[in-house]
Structure 1
């Protein structure tokens, strides 16, 4: 009954906002407030919608309310030896190294942000694991899409479109997610090498039948190191270790480091007061070393995701280089100010640098058409993903 009451109250609040044209800022745990443009509107707190509605470990599916803390869901899955393979970042707290964490991020925010962790290139993204969703649209209507099995999706897969929509299509009330068993074996190998050699090795290994799961390259004290995580059957992992060589790391220590990478708590991500922002470049895995000035990047996803530190004023050059490589660039975090929404708004006004790269004209038309259909009054997270028209 608590779910019914909370959902009813949510729908009533949205209908009232639609009636008097009051924009709403959808928010769960607030761990990703820094991501995207600063939204407009009154706070719409989603944390009343909590709890795991159903969980069938044998069916590898869980249905959970959007305001449920991500840490709570991951703890429940871990008890059954299962996990969210795409490793969603939990920026609000430290991981415990066992798939759980102390962050306050919510399941709805996980889907709305659409962000994935170190294993994304090998196992897929958030949207690949969304089976169904319940959404309250801009008219205050409760809509259900998809379901709890892979085969019942027909027509336009709306539930997956919600992943990465940043709350611009509606308030996610509940989601059904595919989960997977925790792999029986894991190993992390370290290789001393420069950026170009790391990219070459990753491309070479990607063409082999190896149990690759995650990779990370960065420089420390002027020396480059590539870390490779293998996951899968015991025999496959052990055979890959013997074949690849490198220095095998202690599993417990390596697991903590991968969790720190997932939550951007590695020392590389630490930003002090200064002009540099954190940029995320999404490029083909086969892209060569990019000709960007400054410190060497941190590279994930077998070469497909590259993090750089550079001033917002370098946006034009950064985005030109990313596009030339076949990708795009996102101004992911601003330095020092990123935890403060008001400071973010001030910074946005000062430098005028868009957080997201421009969409292609066809993609933007589709996105705006979806937003008009689901949120005809433009209530939700106005301006966070696209500038209002």
Structure 2
């Protein structure tokens, strides 16, 4: 891996936007003010690769791909700042040139994925339990509220924490608090070494083993169990990976095969997801978030386990109430990730106190409720 240069690769002052970006910003403000005046909702869109996630979108489309471009990137400071409509592939390619990555491995779910959609959805890949969620890497954000005002939160370095919590809460809000305009994201170097090991284990034993390994100083960077086979990914310093391989044992997986496997989990192209495809009709796909030590859940439908046992994917025709009851009994919650009857609700309703905080935030940023209305909750 090449060493990071001390100079910024690309820099364009946000206060001196290019004419195209300035025109795009003016158009966005005009659309927001018009929607607020009429009280009509706006359906904020990027590449539409995650349009199926959450409640069914409604309102006039506001295409954010017009507001794109990397504003600044400093490999030495491990920070990249880009406009929300910037393609995620462009950002990852720029980082790869300097041996760096978006640590949380955001899924694209299609070639048109944008940075704004990535953060608005708040989804992460196999590295999530070991490095953190998207919200943990949002250093700063620029948004437009329902009055057309441009608001700045956070900064471009970790020590600048002014408004940092607001920047974090935007991740996973599905655009309900405002129009994401610009984001500053902390990045990390690519692991020097990686290795994937494969183990033939029944589900209960795999969960027990994952929790045992999770309590040890091992360079874990991903885990997945399906159909009697457990995959574990290691990543970090070469010596640490080599030592972990010797400790864990298992069957080494070829590097190209391993890359394809983890990519298939990240983008949900793994055979497990065939009955709940990204496009077209399919069976309901549920994501259960439970304590990692939760034993195998009492159901016979096919499922896949990730994140050291904390994330359970479940394809089942069961009623939403039954699925949520099973998750709650285990101390977790369930999300209708794809397909199924959204009238039953996609996300488990939050406790009253948290719901009140969310409503106050939404009233402060978008009192007319024009942004992605009811995208989180009906």
**Alignment RMSD (CA, Å):** 1.3
Written as runs of structure 1 = structure 2, the 5 A alignment for 1:125-204 is 125-154=133-162, 157-204=165-212
Partner of 2:283: 276
Compared CA separation, residues 125 and 67, structure 1 to 2 (3 A): same
Deviation digits for residues 116-160 of structure 1 (CA, Å, limit 9, x no counterpart) = 001000000000000001101111111110010111113561111
Written as runs of structure 1 = structure 2, the 5 A alignment for 1:49-198 is 49-92=67-110, 103-154=111-162, 157-198=165-206
- Whether the 8 Å CA contact 2:275–2:282 is kept in 1: the answer is no
Separation in 1 of the partners of 2:161 and 2:192?
A: 31
Separation in 2 of the partners of 1:44 and 1:55?
A: 27
1:386 positional shift? 2.0
Separation in 1 of the partners of 2:54 and 2:114?
A: 17
Structure 1: tracts of 5 or more residues without a match:
93-102, 336-346
1:238 positional shift? 0.5
Partner of 1:264: 268
1:274 positional shift? 7.7
Separation in 1 of the partners of 2:38 and 2:112?
A: 32
Partner of 1:33: 51
Aligned with residue 294 of structure 1, among 298, 301, 322: 301
1:39 positional shift? 2.1
1:265 positional shift? 0.5
Separation in 1 of the partners of 2:125 and 2:255?
A: 18
Partner of 1:47: 65
Written as runs of structure 1 = structure 2, the 5 A alignment for 1:211-230 is 211-219=219-227, 224-230=228-234
Deviation digits for residues 78-105 of structure 1 (CA, Å, limit 9, x no counterpart) = 000000010001101xxxxxxxxxx210
Separation in 2 of the partners of 1:53 and 1:210?
A: 37
Separation in 1 of the partners of 2:245 and 2:160?
A: 40
Partner of 1:100: none
Separation in 1 of the partners of 2:312 and 2:202?
A: 15
Separation in 2 of the partners of 1:19 and 1:246?
A: 62
Partner of 1:18: 36
TM-score, normalising length: structure 1: 0.90
- Whether the 8 Å CA contact 1:292–1:318 is kept in 2: the answer is no
Compared CA separation, residues 152 and 113, structure 1 to 2 (3 A): same
Written as runs of structure 1 = structure 2, the 5 A alignment for 1:240-251 is 240-251=244-255
The answer to whether the aligner puts 1:303 opposite 2:309 as a matched pair is: yes
- Whether the 8 Å CA contact 2:218–2:244 is kept in 1: the answer is yes
- Whether the 8 Å CA contact 2:140–2:164 is kept in 1: the answer is no
Structure 2: tracts of 5 or more residues without a match:
1-17
Stretch of structure 1 that moved more, 150-159 or 256-265 = 150-159
Give the match's secondary structure for 2:66: coil
Runs of 4+ in 1 over 3 A off after TM superposition: 272-275
- Whether the 8 Å CA contact 1:135–1:173 is kept in 2: the answer is yes
Separation in 1 of the partners of 2:149 and 2:176?
A: 15
Give the match's secondary structure for 2:235: strand
Separation in 1 of the partners of 2:48 and 2:182?
A: 18
Written as runs of structure 1 = structure 2, the 5 A alignment for 1:339-358 is 348=342, 352-358=343-349
Aligned with residue 320 of structure 2, among 296, 315, 323: 315
Separation in 2 of the partners of 1:8 and 1:63?
A: 20
